[in-house]
Amino acid sequence: MLRRLVVDCLLLFCLLPTTYSYGFETRGQDCSKCHTLNKEEAQDLLKNMIPEVAILDVRPSPVKGFWEVYLESRGQKGIIYVDFQKRHFFSGALVSLGERKNLTQERLVELNRVDASQITLDDALVMGDQKARIRVIVFTDPD
């Protein structure tokens, strides 16, 4: 009987944090560890809202209580934020007040890195000194 009670108590303690957690850190515990979101789950959550969605990466966002979900939809890559409860998401720019930086854009730039050496430059117009050290490739439209 006592053993049963102990087991029940343990179960209760194990379940409580997930049932009642709202994604905020309380009493110094790191709540991101109580929450998980994998790509398949994210795909399931979002497939009815975002057409042809493919999840490329999921990680904790700079804001507590949210996942940063990097995804592709109809050839466009982007970031959205999903809350730990998996009941809401938002898309838009996350801006750091302290650093005065658009964190979303910065992260996208980081994620969308390409191999610049793989881009053929035979057909490119050269502006500046061809021998210059730093080559910047510009895709532009004449209109």
Partner 1 sequence: MKKILEERKDIVFYIKMFPLQSHPEAYEKSKSILCEKSLALLEDAFEKKPIPKPKCETTAVDESTRLAQRLGINSVPTLILPDGRMVPGYKDARTLIQLIGN
In the complex, what is the shortest distance from the CB of residue 56 to partner 1, in angstroms, rounded to a whole number?
Answer: 11
Q: Which CB atom, from 75 or from 98, has the smaller least distance to partner 1?
A: 75
Burial of 16 (0-12, 13-18, 19+ CB in 10 A): exposed
Q: Please report how close the Cβ of residue 138 comes to partner 1 at its closest, in angstroms.
A: 5
Residue 86: CB minimum distance to partner 1, A: 27
CB of 100 to partner 1, least distance (A): 13
CB 72, min distance to partner 1, A:
8
Token duo for residue 11: 């179960």
Question: CB-wise, 1 or 126, nearer to partner 1?
Answer: 126
Residue with Cβ nearer partner 1 (9 or 116): 116
Nearer of residues 1 and 125 to partner 1, judged by Cβ: 125
Alpha helices in 21-58 (DSSP H): 39-46
Residue ranges in contact with partner 1 by CB under 8 A: 75-77, 109-110, 112-116, 119-121, 123-143
- Token pair of 84 as six digits: 């730990």
Buried b (16+ CB within 10 A) or exposed e, 48-79: eebeebebeebebbeeebbbbbbbeeeeeebb
Nearer to partner 1, 26 or 130 (CB): 130
* Nearest C-alpha neighbor of 107 from the set 74, 70, 141, 81: 70
